[in-house]
Structure 1
Amino acid sequence: MTDPTLSFLAGLAEADQPRAAYAALEALTRRLVGVKLFTLMTSDTTTRLAERIYSSHPKDYPVSGTKPYNETYWSDITLRQQKTFVANTIEAIAEVFPDYELIDQLGCQSVINVPIVVGGTVIGTINCLHEAGFYTPERVAAAEALKLPGAVCMLLAERHARR
């Protein structure tokens, strides 16, 4: 079995950037944590806007435009405290995400949002969704290993946006 980190590095070395790096991060997430629905969002704390830059389900969750921050206790945990947000039931998801019905229709009733912090600021989140109760403390701890490759992807997104 190939080392998941080496597979991520191979994706990073591909010419088709940043798409190849995002896909490699999705594959790494699948192996280390597990995921049914995977997205990457950038965060701009100045404008309080987020942008989806990658989606494993582009039909349901397209990559397009920006949206205002989710101003709920989710934003307090993820953006201000800079901690991973965990909800393991569709009811808990419904408290913070208005698209909970679509999430449920896709067979997902649990979520973790891993904040990517660079220079003391959240610059994005890795968003993982799966069946109810999936994100155990062990899986949430395993998601910590995604922060460095996530930071690489977010910085690639910034670089790509400047071009």
Structure 2
Amino acid sequence: MNAAPPLNPALAAVQAIVQAYAAADPAAAFQAIDAYAHASLAHTLCTINRYDAGAERVVRLYSSNPEAYPPGGSKDKAGTAWGRHVLQERRVFVGEGEDAIRAFFDDHGAIRELGLRSVINVPVEYGGACLGTVNFLMPRAAVSDADVQTARLAGLLALPALQALSQPQ
């Protein structure tokens, strides 16, 4: 009997996403979404945040680097240009180069220390409301249109988990 050839990383990640949703396991879904996007983006850091619109705050649910960016960490985004752009207007934010990261992120020093020079932040929305964000940070200074589209798809893949986590328990 011949063994099946190994799946490429993106297909293996899609299979893991399907299994995580079948098991109603948002944490496993987030990890698999990170792996799916990594096959194309080669990012160094992925975080997924829930958005609390009432408090204008994001709360980290997932991090590919929990030592530097632990789950449970939060950031106030009230009155920020980034908050308006991503959370209120629900538009993808692309920051390329250290100057862009310094201009939009209070934790730019920590980002620089990790060697990260570009970012794609994707709002995850449903019914006109932002539920959270999926964020990818890369060591390269620029991103392509294909990178942005991959990140947007990752945001869509995170929608069921963010919806489940936003439901009252």
Structure 1, residues 76-114: CA drift from partner, whole Å, max 9, x if none? 221122111001101110101111111111110100100
Q: Relative to structure 2, which stretch is displaced further, 114-123 or 28-37?
A: 28-37
* 35-44 or 143-152, which deviates more: 143-152
TM-score by length of 2: 0.85
Distance (Å, rounded) in 1 between the aligned partners of 2:59 and 2:106 = 16
Paired position in structure 2 for 1:104:
112
Counterpart selection for 1:28 from 36, 40, 44: 36
Runs of 4+ residues over 3 Å off in structure 1? none
**Segment of structure 1 superposing worse, 136-145 or 47-56:** 136-145
Unaligned 5+ residue runs, structure 2?
Answer: 1-6
User: Sequence identity, in percent?
Assistant: 29
TM-score, structure 1 length as denominator? 0.87
My pick for the range that moved more, 17-26 or 92-101, is 17-26
Shift of 1:38: 0.6
In structure 1, C-alpha distance between the alignment counterparts of 2:122 and 2:51, rounded to whole Å: 12
Structure 1: which 5+ residue stretches go unaligned? none
> How many residue pairs get matched?
160
Give the match for residue 73 of structure 1.
81
Residue 15 of structure 2: aligned partner: 6
Residues 155 and 31 of structure 1, relative CA distance in 2, 3 Å threshold: same
What is the identity, as a one-letter code, of the residue corresponding to 1:138?
A
Greater C-alpha radius of gyration: 2
State whether structure 2 residue 132 is matched by structure 1 residue 129. no
* RMSD of equivalent CA atoms: 1.9
Distance in 1 between residues matched to 2:57 and 2:161, nearest whole Å: 18
Q: Letter of the aligned partner of 1:45 in structure 2?
A: A
Matched, 1:145 2:146: no
What letter matches 1:5 in structure 2? V
